[in-house]
Structure 1
Amino acid sequence: MTVTWEESGWEQVAPGVGRRRLPVWDCTVGLVVGAGGVLLVDAGSGLGEGARLRAQAQALTGRRVTHLALTHPHFDHILGAAAFAGAEVFAAVGVETALTARGREALRADAVRWGLDARVAEEAVDALPVPRHAVSGEWTLDLGLDGGRPVLLANVGPGHTAHDLAVLVPGDPGVVFCGDLVEESGEPQAGPDAVPDRWPAALDRLLALGGEDARYVPGHGAVVDAAFVRAQRDALAARFGVSE
């Protein structure tokens, strides 16, 4: 038996499109439902959280998750990925190189530094699949039948990381899943893997994809509009000394 968005604790952002804010790190995951497939955007911070998301998605849709898009390779967004066995996994080109032995160790250490249990982190990192599909420009998925539910995956980075992927769901309204290129619940975080001088341009590409009327779903925080994204773009440009 399927449940409604409200019963499940998910927020419906547009018809067939929802998102959920996860506990602890306030990471947002997205769900896009079509007649021919189900896409999850990001996978949570560990195998247990990933398994809960998988069960929730199945309860909402009556079907398994068929596609998984990872917006960037930070632990709170990708360490649940192995819970989605059989799903086609997409990420920006270059994420596969970030998952070498050295990259996995850095990912594990970062997760533990932020408070994830060391055993949970090690288990999830060991099981983490390498994305099968590397998006270098734009990639259109059809989650419907005969083109009835197109979803655009766009490599809009670098910015927050060297490998930032956005997900555009056309519609009325359109929805853009931004990953951590946009944050609403706090100031955008620029860690050692950020590319600050390219970040404002990545937000320009987000705005070009979604347009003025889209709903923008940040990696952390409440859903925002184009004006919020533009203001954050300008603040980042000033913060990092990027010329217009």
Structure 2
Amino acid sequence: MKQLLEGRTAVVTGGARGIGFAVAEAFVAEGANVVLADVDGAAAATAADAPQLGGRAIGIACDVSRSNDIENLVTVALKKFGAVHVWVNNAGITRDATMRKMTESMFDEVIAVHLRGSWLGTRAAAAVMRDQPDGGAIVNLSSISGKVGMLGQTNYSSAKAGIVGLTKAAAKEVGFAGVRVNAVMPGLIRTDMTAVLRDDILADKIREIPLGRAGEAEEVAQAVLFLASDMSSYTTGNVIEVAGGRHT
């Protein structure tokens, strides 16, 4: 039986851990070669050597907010694997604080990594995919925070809402070339980012979720896999929520 991503190459930013690494695992399990990009190059290299990736991944240091780093990422992927069929903009950071306490640099850092980084990645991936016979698939990671807003996250909520707009606009620009652009909007997911939450805050957040639990990175990865594969061949400009039913 043919694997969903057999013979394809995928780039995953923020791929050294959490959702990014779970996406890499799902992709390799379905036949893909993967380039794991992370601002922590050593962590990316270590992740790429993980046994579950079966020697089908490479790791590279990349600051997604820097266009030169994104261009180098493309060059490395093409040199190693010859094509880029899937690109996942997943890299992210948080700098939480109320607006009264949030500095301009805290706002700018989050916007640079999430929104500028996703824009740079989408632009670079589309430039390659437009020249490929079968186009390609770009998947951006938004967040439920970008839909409902979160206390202390005006920077993060703004960036994640912007990613939805980026996804829909880019899908209209590059659809003619067979390039699909979609987004996944995770809710509360167990990652290093959420591991720092106090138990009482975590419990409060879980009470807001109809399914009554936090999600797992692997559950987000399955949605990304769907959008990256031919299972979603007639889907573009869409957002899939993986948030346990939370909508407000």
Superposition TM-score tier, normalisation by shorter sequence: 0.3 to 0.5
RCO greater where, 1 or 2, for CA within 8 Å and sep 6 or more? 2
Structure richer in helix, relative to its length: 2
Structure richer in strand, relative to its length: 1
What is the TM-score when the length of structure 2 is the normalising length? 0.32
